[in-house]
């Protein structure tokens, strides 16, 4: 009886972990179309936001792939995160018709 309980508990934990990973890796709400694409910052950092809701960045030695992007309109910020690794930018200027936006005082150009 004890082994049966232990096996069920293990199965539930494994299933829960698997489900959590699937949800976390599934992307989030898609970024507005004007933000979607690959961006390169004047400092060499990169950001991508896809139409399927997945997003990522490379800033210095910090990197996220397959995370999600969240926009806070009241604070004018963009946050990309995955499993506790995140980066938040202040949106100084939204993307314009020339494919440029300004985040944290740095110009980002769409590739």
Per-residue pLDDT at 93 exceeds 70:
yes
* pLDDT score of 14: 46
pTM for the predicted model, two decimal places: 0.75
Q: Which region among 9-13, 67-71, 83-87 has the lowest average model confidence (pLDDT)?
A: 9-13
Per-residue pLDDT at 76 exceeds 70:
yes
Strands (E), the chain: 37-41, 46-49, 54-59, 62-72, 77-82, 85-93, 100-103, 106-110
Q: Where do the domains of the chain lie?
A: 27-110
Taken in order 8, 13, 14, 20, the sign of the CA dihedral is: positive
Task: For residue 18, give the H/E element and its range.
Answer: helix 2-24
> Higher-confidence residue: 28 or 83?
83
Per-residue pLDDT at 10 exceeds 70:
no
CATH of domain 27-110: 2.40.128
- Of the pLDDT bands very low, low, confident and very high (cuts 50, 70, 90), residue 29 is confident
Q: What is the average pLDDT value for the chain, to the nearest integer?
A: 85
Q: What is the mean pLDDT of residues 31-47?
A: 97
């Amino acid at each position: 009886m004890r082994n049966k309980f232990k096996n069920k508990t293990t199965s539930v934990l494994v299933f829960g972990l698997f489900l959590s990973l699937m949800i976390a890796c599934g992307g989030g709400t898609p970024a507005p179309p004007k933000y979607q694409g690959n961006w390169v910052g004047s400092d060499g950092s990169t950001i991508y936001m896809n139409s399927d809701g997945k997003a990522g960045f490379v800033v210095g030695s910090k990197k996220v792939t397959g995370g999600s992007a969240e926009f806070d309109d009241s604070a004018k910020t963009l946050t990309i995160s995955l499993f506790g690794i995140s980066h938040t930018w202040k949106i100084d200027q939204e993307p314009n018709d020339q494919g440029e936006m300004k985040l944290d005082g740095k110009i980002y150009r769409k590739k």
